[in-house]
Chains A and B, each alone.
Chain A
């Protein structure tokens, strides 16, 4: 079974892999080519390389400034900060709410547990767009339009139900013996939760937080509805403004898209260690 593949088998395998990678990367390469092309409308080519390479689009997007209340602000920096603060806060708030809720749903029996779960599920049936107008009115009356807080509240409330479902399954998969062993060893229920359950659930918590982050980072419709000041925009809203009614600045859009992808790529790179599942493997039984 563990026979080493022959040269032909190995070569065939690599050819297939190269084709698959090229297929997946081709559109991305097109975006890269577009972002660094100096010509107004680059002509379509089979091999996507920039025409008259330039960094002008990139610096136009990244270096954009604007006068706000008389002072010159670095627009892109503001928007990047908006996106990161809103997304990280959404992930943090969502996970902090979802962890105790999911644990209670996984471990305790209480009145209303089943109907509560069904209600959570029901919230997932409505698309976010359906609540855009009511959310606008609520945030307006709270004075939270055009604010990061308002956006975090909206995003966290939509991400929490899914986070709860995901974490509940993770907590259920952790053997209750582990907590009981900790309690016999001298832990309170709470310290058993903190010292044993949370570390064992770390991969699931990391994945849940990452999903919440991505959801918030990529969200457009609510952000476009609730924000109308340019310096409060998140990155997806900023990107969309390059595609106007009368002219589309595709090269700036492409440059912006590349820059917007970087934080997510960095995040995945850092988080991958925590995303390795199966941390509990081997703790229980032979």
Chain B
């Protein structure tokens, strides 16, 4: 096991700069998730860590070993592929043992490790089957087994759940986290699914256009997104955004967009407050509350109601921007209602740069 340190890593494919100087540090034993939209460079970063692509410039270290120019086999890593990449002509047992055999491991030790991995993943009954005789979920487990059967310094996962159906995905997600807690192995996991990122990670790296936009613990990033991009990417339904400007109202600060006026806490956004500054207001759907009238409220004209059971989402518009509010599940709301809302917590982003105004 080892920590991972990536420094100023750059990679171009032809004229396209896929990674524009990425820095990543994953402490030993941590589970890191690289998340971002398609084309953000997360899979390329993973392939560079694996040694399947060569970096143009920059450095990759595993513990105190510089592995930047090493072949994949010399890095001592294990990887779970999106396609599983099981060897079609080998049985499950042979698939699991493949890496150990290549490394000339003692046959008794191979047997022991294969048994350990297959016990952990419940593959015991499948050991003599070929990949084509397995279901999607079973193949996924074999792919996991092939990785954990070896004592690698680093475990890489390339969207390993994307070929599973929703129910199985939720189950395997929990299994992966359990497995990690058991093994304590340093892991880097790539996904575009923000739920996977939030639930699995010790540390999340949000990538955008070849750069790390923000990194940190999942809840820290969720609660204090550094940019509008991060705020929009994490959370479902996504954060609501309303464009407007900052104003002084006597001694206090407010955000104004048309008729909408929202008080701004000076301490939270100290340093970013300038009169007339164009900003975007961000409010997560769960950061609103229904009031029973009285005081400053914002009105949401309901156009669509989504009742999901545990919660209900009311869709409408505020200050010309689409807005989603989460309300209690059993409250009877229907299309055409007007809901009086208060904002419990707000985010402000510079309209031009997208950077958060929140004081760090």
Binding site for B on A (CB under 8 A): 175, 177-178, 180-188, 191, 195-196, 199-200, 202, 279-286
Contact A279 B88 (CB under 8 A): yes
| B residues near A200, Cβ cutoff 8 Å | 87-89
Chain B residues, CB < 8 A from A186: 73, 99, 102-103
The interface residues of chain B lying within 8 Å CB-to-CB of A284 are 83-86, 88
Shortest beta-carbon distance, B188 to chain A, in Å?
Answer: 13
Task: Give the number of residue pairs across the A-B interface with Cβ within 8 Å.
Answer: 98
Interface centre among B77, B82, B99, B133 (most CB of A within 10 A): B99
Q: Please, which residues of chain B bring their CB within 8 A of the CB of A185?
A: 73, 78, 98-99, 102, 146, 150
A283 engages B131 (CB within 8 Å): yes
Q: Is A282 within 8 A of B133, CB to CB?
A: yes
Q: Is the beta-carbon distance between B88 and A282 smaller than 8 angstroms?
A: yes
Name the CB-closest residue of A to B52. Answer: A180
| Distance in angstroms between the alpha carbons of A147 and B132 in the assembled complex | 47
Most chain B CB atoms below 10 A, which of A182, A199, A280, A282: A282
15 residue pairs A–B, Cβ–Cβ below 8 Å: A180-B52, A181-B81, A181-B85, A182-B98, A182-B102, A183-B51, A186-B73, A195-B98, A199-B89, A200-B87, A202-B89, A280-B88, A281-B88, A285-B83, A286-B137
- Does B199 reach chain A (CB closer than 8 Å)? no
A183 and B131 within 8 A (CB): no
Q: Are B87 and A196 in contact (CB under 8 A)?
A: yes
- Residues of chain B within 8 A of A181, CB atoms compared: 79, 81, 85, 87, 146
Expressed in whole angstroms, the Cα–Cα distance for A200 and B131 within the complex equals: 13
Contacts of A199 in B (CB 8 A): 87, 89
**Closest CB in chain A relative to B154 CB, distance in Å:** 11
B216 contacts the other chain (CB 8 A): no
**Contact partner of B77 among A175, A184, A188, A195, CB < 8 A?**
A184
Once the chains bind, are B87 and A178 in contact (CB under 8 Å)? Answer: yes
Closest residue on chain A to residue B86 by CB atoms: A283
Chain B residues positioned under 8 Å from A191 (CB to CB): 102
Whether B72 is near chain A, meaning CB under 8 Å from some CB there, is yes
A183-B52, A183-B71 are contacts. A286–B79 as well, Cβ < 8 Å?
A: no
Distance in Å: Cβ of B135 to nearest Cβ of chain A: 7
In the complex, A279 Cα to B140 Cα: how many Å?
Answer: 19
Kindly list chain B residues whose C-beta atoms are within 8 Å of the C-beta of A183: 51-52, 71-73
Q: A186-B102, A286-B164 are in contact. List 9 more A-B contacts (CB 8 A).
A: A175-B85, A184-B50, A185-B99, A185-B150, A282-B86, A282-B88, A284-B84, A284-B86, A285-B136
Pick from A175, A187, A279: contact of B102, CB below 8 A: A187
Which residue on A lies nearest to B102, using beta carbons? A186
Question: How many residues from B make CB contacts under 8 Å with A?
Answer: 36
A176 CA to B132 CA, complexed, in Å: 18
Contacts of A177 in B (CB 8 A): 81-83, 85
Establish whether residues A283 and B85, one from each chain, have CB atoms under 8 Å apart when the complex forms: yes
Give min CB distance, A273 to chain B, whole Å.
Answer: 13
Q: Which chain B residue has the least Cβ–Cβ distance from A186?
A: B102
* Cα separation A202 to B139 with both chains bound (whole Å): 22
CB of B163 within 8 Å of the partner chain:
yes
| B134 interface residue per 8 A CB criterion | yes
Is the CB of B130 closer than 8 A to any CB of chain A?
yes
In the complex, what distance in Å separates the CA atom of A280 from the CA atom of B85?
Answer: 10
- Residues A184 and B79 in contact, CB atoms below 8 Å apart: yes
Q: Which residues B19-57 have CB closer than 8 A to chain A?
A: 50-52
Contacts of B78 in A (CB 8 A): 184-185
A40 to B78, CA, bound (A): 76
Cα(A180)–Cα(B102), bound, Å: 14
How far is A103 from B134 in the complex, measured between Cα atoms in Å?
A: 29
Give complex CA distance A30, B78 in Å.
64
Across-interface contacts of B51 in A (CB, < 8 A): 183-184
- B residues in contact with A202, CB < 8 Å: 89
**Chain B hits for A279, CB < 8 A:** 88-89
CB distance from A159 to the nearest CB of B (A): 26
The 4 closest A-B CB pairs, nearest first, are A282-B132, A286-B136, A283-B88, A185-B99
In the complex, chain A residues whose CB is within 8 Å of the CB of B71: 183, 188
Whole-angstrom distance between the alpha carbons of A188 and B51 in the complex? 12
Report the minimal beta-carbon distance from A250 to chain B, rounded to whole angstroms: 49
How many Å from the CB of A164 to the closest CB on chain B? 23
> Is there contact, CB below 8 Å, between B73 and A285?
no
Are B52 and A184 neighbours in the complex by a CB distance under 8 Å?
Answer: yes
CB pair B83 A175 closer than 8 Å: yes
Asked whether, in the complex, the Cβ of A178 is within 8 Å of the Cβ of B85, the reply is yes
What per-residue 1/0 map shows which CB atoms of B87-106 lie under 8 Å from chain A?
A: 11100000000110011000
A187→B102 CA distance, assembly (Å): 7
Q: How far is the CA of A186 from the CA of B105 in the complex (A)?
A: 12
**Also in contact, A180 and B89, with CB within 8 A (given A283-B132, A286-B164):** no
- Is the pair B131, A188 in contact by a Cβ cutoff of 8 Å? no
* B103 proximity list for chain A (CB < 8 A): 186
